[in-house]
A and B are shown apart, each in its own frame.
Chain A
Amino acid sequence: MNRDQALFEFLLRMGDSTLILSHRISEWCGHAPVIEEDIALANTALDLIGQTQFWLELAGEVEGKGRTADNLAHLRDAWDFRNLLLVERPNGDFGKTLMRQFLFDVWQSLMLAKLKGSSDQRIADIAEKASKEVAYHVERSANTVISLGDGTEESHQRMQDALEDLYPYVGEMFIGDKVDEVLVKAGIAPDPASLRAEYDRIVGDVMYKATLQLPEDDFAHQGGKTGRHTEHLGYILADMQFLQRAYPGAEW
């Protein structure tokens, strides 16, 4: 695998993860528990779409086959998507959506912090912009997880269930492969495993404040980063890609 191939894969991993998570969050529109949360969810989805545009545009540029960010988003099938499995998990209740968000936000903020120092200036620039938004995302999702974990008996139980349900999708974020090896060597991106200790520290601290128990089993589902997804992604794409697929070549 040469450097550009690895870089392309990596950029898809970043851009597809923000794209799919944004899609999931936008499913909430008009259905949140209070208006402030509707606004915050739409705002987060909007930030993530903006980041997606940057990552996928650069991916298309690196690939060099003339594909735009929109081509990549709307004209690939599931096996070519490289998002983390975590982000395609269904929304569940509001607590589960925010737990998924928190588990992702912490990873994303650590990743972006390292990418700000990437040897590839284009990546460093995107990371610089995105990390400002993500700092706010982490703060909000952490506070919500704490409030709901340490709220009522019912909310505590729901958040504990959400954590146990989603935790098996955390490990994938830290497992490196050939792609990562090439990028680490080139100083473009960090070794995913190197983010784990800080991640565990932050998540552990928030779970403690939320009175939630981290699962002991560290089993990790994998596949998203190499294109082997859960059953859910196909349905997401069927929705997301409908117009581009049904009316090929039209401009919108």
Chain B
Amino acid sequence: MYAQMVKTAGTGVKKPKDMTAEEKAFQAKIDRNEKIEPKDWMPDDYRATLIRQIGQHAHSEIVGQLPEGNWLTRAPTLERKAILLAKVQDEAGHGLYLYSACETLGVSRDELTEMLLNGKMKYSSIFNYPTLNWADMGAVGWLVDGAAIMNQVPLQRTSYGPYSRAMVRICKEESFHQRQGYAIMMKMAAGTADQKRMAQDALDRLWFPSLMMFGPSNKESVHSEQSMAWRIKINTNDELRQKFVDQTVPQIEFLGLTCPDKDIKWNEEKGGYDYTDPDWSEFFAVLKGNGPCNKDRLAARNAAWKNGAWVRDAMLAHARKKAARKAVAA
């Protein structure tokens, strides 16, 4: 998922005796694994939390076009360029249906966009890191989309119907993205010395930021019991991070690259790798706006919105004129 540190609205999980009848019925529905649909009654805090979470996810898809767009005009072959174009187009499509899912909760796409642009809403920290060589297009697909899938697969079963259905569609495309990313890495890792260097460099830079995508460790995380009770969060951050590490380390070995975590070690007893946590102070610095690309990414989105204002105004004006002419003719 591209949402981290989503603050759950409300005061925490209520005991059944403190719930209203409506709240009890709502929770029972979720516990029966039934979907909540837009017109159903829902607690205000559930609605507010979902808007934050889906909105952040949508923003991430949109901002996420930028680091990949950075290499579109420099793709090394026509085929690579075509694949990257298709992928970036998918991301924009994901943004679109996530915004639509969010709109079913009573907030407009324009309102959400304004909150992204003025910094009130966040997007995933990963997109505040630069893409510095071509292997980054491989590593982004492999690691970044890979980490996203870890979170999105369980979210296909989330309690909110429109979000769940958006996830089903998104997951299909993301797994294609991850495979194409890994395909680039295989080519690079088996290529010339320079290409192998690019592949290792991309892995070195993106490994820890990818681990950060799951959000802080449970120990440091704002409590998320309520989101889990509502089934808008299915697993803990640490569970998913562990799963990601366990899946990725053998892939690194297969590529013949070196894991940037020098202390990575298989732990027979737990049946998973022991790994080094990312530097959480860096994570919080990036969230605060001090990542390498925060300013550039937001400036690019703000410029796109501002420079496009005349286009949006004109499209609306034309649609109104057309409707007026039709009314006169009728």
Contacts and interface: CB of A to CB of B under 8 A. Distances in A.
Interface of A: 19, 22-23, 26-27, 29-39, 42-43, 45-46, 49-50, 52-53, 56, 69-70, 73-74, 93-95, 146-148, 150-152, 154-155, 158, 239-240, 242-244, 247, 249-252
A73 B85 contact: no
Nearest to B96: A35
7 smallest CB-CB distances across A and B, nearest first, come from: A33-B308, A151-B314, A155-B314, A29-B69, A30-B65, A42-B89, A252-B76
Interface string B149-186: 00000000000000000000000000000000000100
Q: Interface residue tally of chain B, by bracket? A: 35 or more
7 contacts: A29-B72, A30-B63, A31-B69, A32-B308, A49-B78, A243-B75, A243-B134
B307 A93 contact: yes
B80 interface: yes
Given A42-B88, A152-B310, A250-B194, A29 B318 contact: no
Nearest to A26: B72
A73 B77 CA distance: 8
Given A36-B96, A49-B81, A69-B78, A154 B192 contact: no
Given A147-B315, A252-B134, 16 more contacts: A29-B68, A31-B300, A42-B85, A53-B78, A70-B77, A70-B79, A151-B314, A151-B316, A158-B310, A239-B74, A243-B75, A243-B76, A252-B76, A252-B77, A252-B187, A252-B191
B318 A42 contact: no
B185 to A, nearest CB: 12
A68 to B, nearest CB: 9
A43 B317 CA distance: 26
Interface in B81-116: 81-82, 85-86, 88-89, 92-93, 95-96, 99
Interface of B: 62-63, 65-66, 68-69, 72-82, 85-86, 88-89, 92-93, 95-96, 99, 134, 184, 187-188, 191-192, 194-195, 300-301, 303-305, 307-319, 321
Contacts of A39: 89, 92-93, 96
Contacts of B99: 35
A43 B89 contact: yes
A239 B86 CA distance: 20
B82 A240 contact: no
Given A73-B78, A244-B76, A35 B62 contact: yes
A94 B315 CA distance: 12
Contacts of A250: 76, 191-192, 194-195
A240 B311 contact: no
Nearest to A56: B78
Given A247-B192, A250-B195, A23 B73 contact: yes
Given A39-B96, A148-B311, A26 B191 contact: no
Contacts of B305: 33
B297 to A, nearest CB: 9
A42 B65 CA distance: 11
B191 A42 contact: no
Contact of B311 (A19, A74, A95, A146): A95
B315 to A, nearest CB: 5
Contacts of B89: 39, 42-43, 46
A33 B62 CA distance: 12
A240 B134 CA distance: 13
A93 B304 CA distance: 10
A74 B89 CA distance: 24
Contacts of B304: 30-33
B142 to A, nearest CB: 16
A49 to B, nearest CB: 5
Given A70-B78, A94-B311, A31 B73 contact: no
A184 to B, nearest CB: 29
B311 A33 contact: yes
Contact of B69 (A30, A155, A243): A30
Contacts of A148: 311, 314-315, 318
Given A23-B73, A45-B85, A30 B317 contact: no
A84 B75 CA distance: 22
A53 B300 CA distance: 31
